[in-house]
Chain A
Amino acid sequence: MARMKFLCDEERCIECNACVTACKNEHEVPWGVNRRRVVTMDDGEPGEKSISVACMHCSDAPCQAVCPVDCFYTTNDGVVLHDKDMCIGCGYCLYACPFGAPQYPQEGAFGARGKMDKCTFCAGGPEEDHSHEELEKYGRNRLAEGKLPLCAEMCSTKSLLAGDGDMVSDLFRNRVIRREGEANTWGWATAYKD
């Protein structure tokens, strides 16, 4: 069975933020919530690198492990989703997530923390496919339409890749071979900078 994965090629990302805009527009994400964002390292210095980050749909998702109400589930194609009706907005998943993917909209008169919202890999949620409830709670379900996430589909430099992990890694491996370089230009020793 396919396992859906994102991969951002830092050699190609030009920090245009079009993926962020596309995601917000496609799913009508509320003000203050960013399901995807672009992170730049050594910004303004020669050799700066940018990557687009969202939920990475982990195979052994820490958010799923820590959720006190177990509102997370993984689909057949490896997409980590959650049921917003069960979510209590406690924020544990945000502490557990290494990518800072879970987001919380402000709700109510005093701006209390609402139910968690995150990247759905454009796969909607547990509601019926293409239903109004699904659209309202989780955004569009592009996977059910036979399409891949919009952020990756419209990436102008094809830096952001999304799809079956095997196909994504094949494509990336070929790129690295063509570049005659290492897959990770930072090197493992500098993966985490000060």
Chain B
Amino acid sequence: MKVKQIRGAGQQLTKINMKVCLLFITLFTLTACYEDTDVILHQSGVYKGKIDRHTQTPEQRQALLAKRFGQVQTDR
């Protein structure tokens, strides 16, 4: 009797393990089906990429580069 009970419990455990495994496999497979819904709608002639934000203002940048030009691009 006892041997039969142990066998029955073992089979039940195997069934539960199989179900858990199947559930994990299904979840893992479905993760590959994820689609990013943040779609960029194209509009002809309009740039819709990332905005290039500079750390300096255009005036600061211009002044810095003009100074640099005087330092490194002078004739010899």
Which A residues form the contact surface with B (CB < 8 A)? 1-2, 4, 69-73, 75-77, 81-83, 85-86, 125-130, 143-144, 146-148, 152-153, 158, 161-164, 167-168, 171, 174-175
Pairs A–B under 8 Å by Cβ, sample size 22: A1-B58, A2-B62, A2-B66, A70-B42, A70-B43, A70-B45, A70-B47, A72-B47, A73-B47, A75-B54, A76-B54, A85-B49, A127-B50, A128-B53, A147-B68, A148-B68, A148-B69, A158-B75, A163-B65, A163-B66, A164-B66, A167-B69
Find the B residue at minimum CB distance from A163. Answer: B69
| Shortest distance between the CB of A87 and any CB in chain B (Å) | 9
Give the A-B contact count at a CB cut-off of 8 A. 95
Chain A contacts for B76, CB-based, 8 A: 158
Chain A contacts for B64, CB-based, 8 A: 146
Determine whether B44 belongs to the interface, using a CB cutoff of 8 Å to chain A. Answer: yes
The answer to whether B54 touches A129, judged by C-beta atoms less than 8 angstroms apart, is: yes
**Which of A69, A77, A167 is close to B42, meaning CB atoms less than 8 Å apart?**
A69
The answer to whether B49 touches A86, judged by C-beta atoms less than 8 angstroms apart, is: yes
The answer to whether B69 touches A70, judged by C-beta atoms less than 8 angstroms apart, is: no
With A128-B53, A144-B55 as known contacts, state yes or no: A77 contacts B61, CB within 8 Å: yes
The answer to whether B65 touches A164, judged by C-beta atoms less than 8 angstroms apart, is: yes
The answer to whether B65 touches A83, judged by C-beta atoms less than 8 angstroms apart, is: no
| Shortest distance between the CB of B8 and any CB in chain A (Å) | 51
The answer to whether B69 touches A143, judged by C-beta atoms less than 8 angstroms apart, is: no
Determine whether B56 belongs to the interface, using a CB cutoff of 8 Å to chain A. Answer: yes
**Which of B40, B49, B55, B73 is close to A148, meaning CB atoms less than 8 Å apart?**
B73
The answer to whether A70 touches B44, judged by C-beta atoms less than 8 angstroms apart, is: yes
| B47, B53, B56, B66: residue with the most chain A Cβ atoms closer than 10 Å | B47
Chain B contacts for A4, CB-based, 8 A: 65
| Shortest distance between the CB of A178 and any CB in chain B (Å) | 9
Chain B contacts for A125, CB-based, 8 A: 52
> B31-49 interface mask toward A, CB cutoff 8 Å, 1 = contact, 0 = none?
0000000001011111111
| Shortest distance between the CB of B9 and any CB in chain A (Å) | 50
With A1-B62, A143-B61 as known contacts, state yes or no: A83 contacts B49, CB within 8 Å: yes
The answer to whether A71 touches B47, judged by C-beta atoms less than 8 angstroms apart, is: yes
Chain B contacts for A163, CB-based, 8 A: 65-66, 68-69, 73
